[in-house]
């Protein structure tokens, strides 16, 4: 009886050893020396840490046909090309974005709205209260002239209408803020040339305001709308700038035209438009630098980029990107840029990180150009079309 059990054990171990040989060539090396002729009982190797993670003994074994050879070095090098391209992102539609992102606006800005409403709901709207209202608006970067205008009109209407209820005052405030923002600007980003060539959009602004991020987010919006996009990396200040843009593009399948670091931004922009025309793209988006290598001023350079691109035809949109958190500084920048290139729209970024949403009013006033887009976060879909009504509602709560 004992002999039978021993024979069965020997047979099992032999099967185990032989099938172990075909499992993998690596495993082979760890096995004890191969039995010479007749299998002998070899004690199982000492278990090591992590042994449990290995294939259990009784799992079905692969045959030699199923076990492929390890890739050769040459194959390993080629491997990445053989891999299917990564799936493209499906960007969110723009409709309803401001609603989705509204809490971000409200979170940072309800100080303005709440402050104003608290003041307006005081029983006695005396001189001091009106002054506090003025201060609140100024603190939110609405700007001196628009603030005075708003307070004057509000005072007058409150007096004439005898409005006293918080709801009544709230709706008057809403109307006045909307008047300041202007409800009849065309705020659509113009991405169609009206002829057979791609629409061309140039994005400008000082460094760090969010130009590249905005260009990337805008490309996503366009792709989501079924348009084909070519990106022009006309920021040659550092190679990483073009990489950053290209990364955005790759996620949605938009190609990036780029040149050498320190190369001529105008010629890259020119090439981007040329290639966009060549391949029948719908839109070409040109990202520009906020800083330069050369001694030429940023403004001279931008003027040149614009002139050179316009050899292909007029630019359809020049977006000035301003960082809302820089407040009044942004206005000074806006003025300088507006002198060199004809700004057609403003993108106000980082509104998620400031209580100074009033800058929207100030900057439109300054340039006479509408805010068209707002940035409400670093996420790829955190760019929303600017809608005055939704904005004011978020500002003062509805
Ligand atoms: N919170 C927040 N961050 C933003 C927003 N837009 C851009 N940023 C961040 O701002 C930083 C600068 O953005 P970039 O797009 O690189 O700015 P840029 O204008 O291209 O900068 P330069 O190329 O150096 O001129 C990045 O960390 C962005 O993620 C926004 O709407 N909200
Ligand atoms: Mg950039």
Confidence at residue 269, expressed as pLDDT on a 0 to 100 scale: 97
Å from CA of 269 to ligand 2 middle:
14
Residue range 67-81: average pLDDT?
59
Ligand 1 neighbours by CB, cut-off 6 Å: 205, 207-213, 235, 241, 290, 349-350, 352-353, 375-378, 382
Alpha-carbon distance of 230 to 277, in angstroms, equals 10
Atom nearest to 291 CA in ligand 1? 25
| Contacts for 139 with CB less than 8 Å, ≥ 6 apart | 112, 356
Residue closest via CA to ligand 1's atom 17 equals 210
Alpha-carbon distance of 239 to 203, in angstroms, equals 18
* Separation in Å, CA 325 to CA 141, 328, 329, 375: 10, 9, 9, 11
**Could you tell me if 351 and 359 are in contact, meaning their C-beta atoms sit under 8 angstroms apart?**
no
Å from CA of 320 to ligand 1 middle:
13
Å from CA of 383 to ligand 1 middle:
12
Ligand number nearest CA of 373 is 1
Q: State the sign of the Cα–Cα–Cα–Cα dihedral 152, 153, 158, 161.
A: positive
The DSSP secondary structure of 122-175, one letter per residue, reads SS---HHHHHHHHHHHHHTT--HHHHHHHHHHHHHHHHHHT--SHHHHHHHHHH
More confident residue, 8 or 132: 132
Q: How far is CA 224 from the centre of its chain?
A: 14
Residues paired with residue 256 on neighbouring β-strands, in sequence order: 231
Split at pLDDT 50, 70, 90, the class of 64 is: low
Confidence at residue 239, expressed as pLDDT on a 0 to 100 scale: 79
pLDDT tens digits, one per residue of 265-285: 999 999 999 999 999 999 999
Residue closest via CA to ligand 1's atom 13 equals 210
pLDDT tens digits, one per residue of 318-351: 999 999 998 778 888 888 888 889 999 999 999 9
Q: Is the pLDDT of residue 292 over 80?
A: no
Confidence at residue 107, expressed as pLDDT on a 0 to 100 scale: 63
Mutation choice for ligand 1 from 104, 105, 207, 213, CB with most ligand atoms inside 8 A: 213
Atom nearest to 208 CA in ligand 1? 21
Confidence at residue 222, expressed as pLDDT on a 0 to 100 scale: 95
Residue 397, token pair as written in the block: 């709560």
Alpha-carbon distance of 133 to 169, in angstroms, equals 13
Residue range 61-79: average pLDDT?
61
| Contacts for 216 with CB less than 8 Å, ≥ 6 apart | 244, 245, 247, 248, 249, 380
Q: What are phi and psi of 261, to 5 degrees?
A: -60, 135
Q: Indicate the range of 211-215, 230-234, 383-387, 394-398 predicted with least confidence.
A: 394-398
Mutation choice for ligand 1 from 206, 207, 210, CB with most ligand atoms inside 8 A: 210
Percent of the chain predicted with pLDDT > 70: 75
Residue closest via CA to ligand 1's atom 10 equals 210
* Widest pairwise Cα distance in the chain: 114
Ligand number nearest CA of 377 is 1
Residue 111, token pair as written in the block: 């100080």
pLDDT tens digits, one per residue of 1-56: 555 555 554 544 444 444 443 333 333 334 444 444 444 455 555 555 544 444 45
| Contacts for 267 with CB less than 8 Å, ≥ 6 apart | 259, 308
More confident residue, 383 or 328: 383
Å from CA of 349 to ligand 1 middle:
8
Ligand number nearest CA of 374 is 1
Residue range 150-179: average pLDDT?
90
Percent of the chain predicted with pLDDT > 90: 45
Residues paired with residue 373 on neighbouring β-strands, in sequence order: 347, 385
Å from CA of 349 to ligand 2 middle:
13
The DSSP secondary structure of 240-269, one letter per residue, reads HHHHHHHHHHHHHT-EEE---TT--HHHHH
Atom nearest to 375 CA in ligand 1? 31
Q: What is the mean pLDDT of the chain?
A: 81
| Contacts for 143 with CB less than 8 Å, ≥ 6 apart | 331, 358, 361, 362, 365, 366
Atom nearest to 374 CA in ligand 1? 31
């Amino acid at each position: 009886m004992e002999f039978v059990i021993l024979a069965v054990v020997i047979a099992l171990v032999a099967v185990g050893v032989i099938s172990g040989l075909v499992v993998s060539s690596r495993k082979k090396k760890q096995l004890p020396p191969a039995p010479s002729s007749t299998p002998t009982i070899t004690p199982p190797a000492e278990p090591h840490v992590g042994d449990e993670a290995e294939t259990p003994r009784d799992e079905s074994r692969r045959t030699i046909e199923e076990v492929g050879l390890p890739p050769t070095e040459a194959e390993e090098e080629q491997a990445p090309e053989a891999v299917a391209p990564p799936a493209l992102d499906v960007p969110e539609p723009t409709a309803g974005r401001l609603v989705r992102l509204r809490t971000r606006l409200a979170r940072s800005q309800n100080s303005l709205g709440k402050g104003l409403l608290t003041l307006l709901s005081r029983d006695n709207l005396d001189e001091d209260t009106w002054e506090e209202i003025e201060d609140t608006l100024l603190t939110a970067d609405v700007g001196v002239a628009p603030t005075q205008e708003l307070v004057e009109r509000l005072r007058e209407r409150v007096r004439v209408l005898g409005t006293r209820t918080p709801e009544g005052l709230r709706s008057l405030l809403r109307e006045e803020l909307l008047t300041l923002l202007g409800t009849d600007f065309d705020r659509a980003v113009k991405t169609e040339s009206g002829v057979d060539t791609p629409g061309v959009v140039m994005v400008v602004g000082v460094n760090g305001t969010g130009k590249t991020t905005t260009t990337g987010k805008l490309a996503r919006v366009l792709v989501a709308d079924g348009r084909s996009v070519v990106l022009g990396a006309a920021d040659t200040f550092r190679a990483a700038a073009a990489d950053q843009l290209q990364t955005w593009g790759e996620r949605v399948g938009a190609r990036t035209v780029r040149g050498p670091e320190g190369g001529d931004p105008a010629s890259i922009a020119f090439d981007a438009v040329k290639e966009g025309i060549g391949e029948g793209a719908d839109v070409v988006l040109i990202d520009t630098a906020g800083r330069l290598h050369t001694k030429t001023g940023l403004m001279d350079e931008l003027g040149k980029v614009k002139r050179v691109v316009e050899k292909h035809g007029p630019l359809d949109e020049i977006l000035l990107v301003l960082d809302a958190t820089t407040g009044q500084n942004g206005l000074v920048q806006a003025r300088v840029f507006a002198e060199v290139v004809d700004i057609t729209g403003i993108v106000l970024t980082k509104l998620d990180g400031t209580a100074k949403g009033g800058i929207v009013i100030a900057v439109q006033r300054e340039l006479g150009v509408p805010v068209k887009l707002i940035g409400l976060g670093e996420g790829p879909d955190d760019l929303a079309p600017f809608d005055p009504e939704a904005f004011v509602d978020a500002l003062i709560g509805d």
